Amino acid sequence: MSTVDKLSNWRFGVACPLTHQRGWEWLPWFEDAGFVLDRLIHPAACHVRIWDWFLDRFEFMALWRREE
């Protein structure tokens, strides 16, 4: 993932801090804040160029809700 970030973003001047999550370690943060996961789509088809199909495995979409 770090290599993909570097190759994708360097030409636009976007800094890549290389601090990516591993697995789904961020899920408990949302749950601890009172959110409930409604739907998770992984991998998410986000790339349109034929050669970018392999990047989709890094993409996800999540719908969270919070009950007050």
- 55/64 Cα distance (integer angstroms): 24
Whether the CB-CB separation of 56 and 46 falls below 8 Å is answered with: yes
Higher pLDDT, 41 or 59: 41
Distance of CA 28 to the CA centre of its chain: 15
**pLDDT tens, 5-58?**
666 666 777 776 666 667 788 889 999 999 999 999 888 777 677 766 666 677
Which pLDDT belongs to residue 45? 76
Global model pTM greater than 0.75: no
In the chain, domain spans: 34-68
Whether the CB-CB separation of 61 and 45 falls below 8 Å is answered with: no
Which pLDDT belongs to residue 64? 95
Which pLDDT belongs to residue 19? 64
